[in-house]
Amino acid sequence: MLKKIFALTICIIVISTPIFAANKAPDFTLKKLSGGNFNLKENLSNGPILIDFWATWCKPCLRALPEIQRIHDKYSEKGLQVITITTDNAKSKSKVIPFVKGARYTFEVLLDTDQEVRKLFGGSVIPLSVLIGSDGKILYHHIGYKPGDEKILEEEILKVLAPTPKEEEKN
């Protein structure tokens, strides 16, 4: 019975993703692991934003995070902002700092201990990746991780970072 409910939930998410993707990203403010707060709306003017929801206990998340770091390293100078949001709860959040430092991740990490922001983005499963354009529109929404998913994500990132015809004329 539980497997049927899970399968139905996944189907609903997959079917609703294209509809959801046409919408604007919900605004939110979360605490940064590095201190201070991050507000989505305030940061949109700095360029497109990739958000990746994860947790220290999530094995697919732990396999995806090195790819998120690689994407951060490759595209942050081109204007992509990479924000990861840990959904670790109050009990497991003490593991986040040592984990991030140990892995030498340099992307920004936000704390969503009550998982309210993840819910705003339609996620009930992690990892969850969301690519948001500077205009606030959700351009890409993906649940889960398997090797190769990062290639599709990178293709979507390249679309949003592609120079406009006017920019190409300048070069």
Per-residue pLDDT tens over the stretch 6-15: 444 444 444 4
- pTM, whole model, 2 decimals? 0.81
Q: Residue 91 — pLDDT band, cuts 50, 70, 90?
A: confident
DSSP state of 160: H
Q: Residue 134: phi, psi to the nearest 5?
A: -60, -20
Look at residue 165 in the predicted model and tell me its pLDDT: 53
The superfamily CATH assigns to domain 30-162 is Glutaredoxin (3.40.30.10)
Look at residue 92 in the predicted model and tell me its pLDDT: 85
| Ramachandran assignment for 129, one of left (phi > 0), alpha (psi -120 to 50 degrees), beta (any other) | beta
Interatomic CA distance for residues 132 and 142, integer angstroms? 12
